[in-house]
């Protein structure tokens, strides 16, 4: 019995990487998955340097036992996002899972460069592609969940801590996604809809493999040049984590929080595709001899009990 049989998911940004891994694993659990992105066969996204398409992702979803539906959407265009959600309502009549994995910042982040040397234009485009798109997609997708008072929203980020990420624009983008999950959870606190954030570890994505000159079959050959790559994981690992969250009747306990793929693997008992269970935090502590910080309940404490919720406890207006 597939745990997500009959559920409908939207994975926004499903072309490759974590988005594809999440879409395919939701499919493997039986879900119908709308796979969106800008790259389609015969018409890759403007400036795209990768060959992957949303049709490929949808076909993989179907091959694994789900139903994959590819829809070309530019999530920076509000009208296209609204039309997508209207289509989902018309065809499926509901939405159970929303995954916001839109990124598009591969050529924009300037890690290791001081902010006064970074390009404001690149930063602005990154914010537009990787933060605005998440907010706009949630704006039009969540009403489908509200109609049934149930659902799961997953914001895909990088890192399960509030620590600096090595570049101001990149750091603000990834922290904004974590904060977005938290803020949405506050607006949704009187519903049965859960908003949260999830992070993969060192992702063995298509782009990363190509960058290191290896394939999935021989990925360990890259470890001699990049030792930390030994602790990497496939996109399916975080995908299995999201599928487990979607099947968990008590997922609401994670509302507003960020959680890592390796933490989910320990809790739900799944492995990566090769049977391994990568754990970036343990690898980090063992290799670098420093504690790995995580955004636990203590870290979130100062985010809770804001004055607006005390002065105006009935906000927001539904």
Known catalytic residues are 170
Q: How far is CA 174 from the centre of its chain?
A: 11
Residue 4, φ and ψ in degrees, nearest 5: -110, 20
What are the start-end ranges of the E strands in 46-174? Answer: 67-72, 97-100, 151-156
Q: How far is CA 51 from the centre of its chain?
A: 21
Long-range Cβ pairs for the range 37-46 (8 Å, 24+): 37/13, 37/72, 37/73, 38/72, 38/73, 38/74, 39/15, 40/70, 40/72, 43/72
Cβ(78)–Cβ(44) under 8 Å?
A: no
Cβ(12)–Cβ(36) under 8 Å?
A: yes
Rg, Å, the chain Cα set: 19
Q: How far is CA 205 from the centre of its chain?
A: 14
CA distance linking residue 154 with residue 199, whole number of Å: 10
CA distance linking residue 178 with residue 195, whole number of Å: 10
143: tokens are: 């009403």
180: tokens are: 């977005």
């Amino acid at each position: 019995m597939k745990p997500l049989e009959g559920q409908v998911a939207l994975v926004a940004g499903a072309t490759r990487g974590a988005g594809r891994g999440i879409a395919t694993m939701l499919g493997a659990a039986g879900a119908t998955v709308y796979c969106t992105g800008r790259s389609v066969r015969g018409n890759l996204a403007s400036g795209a340097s990768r060959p992957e398409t949303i049709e490929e992702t949808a076909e993989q979803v179907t091959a694994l036992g789900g139903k994959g539906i590819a829809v070309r959407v530019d999530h920076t265009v509000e009208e296209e996002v609204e039309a997508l959600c209207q289509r989902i309502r018309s065809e499926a009549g509901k939405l159970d899972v929303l995954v916001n994995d839109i990124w598009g910042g591969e050529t924009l982040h300037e890690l290791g460069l001081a902010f006064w040397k970074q390009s404001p234009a690149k930063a602005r485009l990154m914010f537009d592609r990787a933060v605005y798109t998440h907010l706009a997609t949630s704006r039009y997708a969540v009403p489908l969940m509200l109609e049934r008072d149930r659902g799961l929203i997953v914001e895909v980020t990088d890192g399960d801590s509030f620590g600096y990420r090595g570049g101001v624009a990149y750091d603000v983008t990834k922290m904004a996604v974590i904060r977005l999950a938290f803020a949405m959870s506050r607006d949704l606190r009187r519903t049965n809809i859960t908003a949260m954030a999830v992070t993969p570890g060192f992702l063995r994505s298509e782009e990363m493999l190509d960058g290191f000159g290896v394939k999935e079959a021989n990925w360990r050959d890259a470890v001699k040049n990049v030792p930390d790559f030994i602790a990497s994981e496939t996109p399916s690992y975080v995908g299995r984590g999201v599928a487990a969250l979607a099947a968990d009747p008590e997922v609401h306990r994670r509302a507003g929080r960020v959680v890592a793929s390796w933490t989910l693997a320990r809790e739900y008992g799944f492995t990566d595709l090769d049977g391994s269970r990568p754990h970036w935090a343990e690898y980090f502590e063992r290799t670098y001899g420093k504690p790995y910080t995580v955004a636990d309940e203590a870290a979130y404490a100062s985010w809770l009990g804001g004055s607006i919720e005390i002065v105006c406890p009935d906000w927001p207006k539904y």
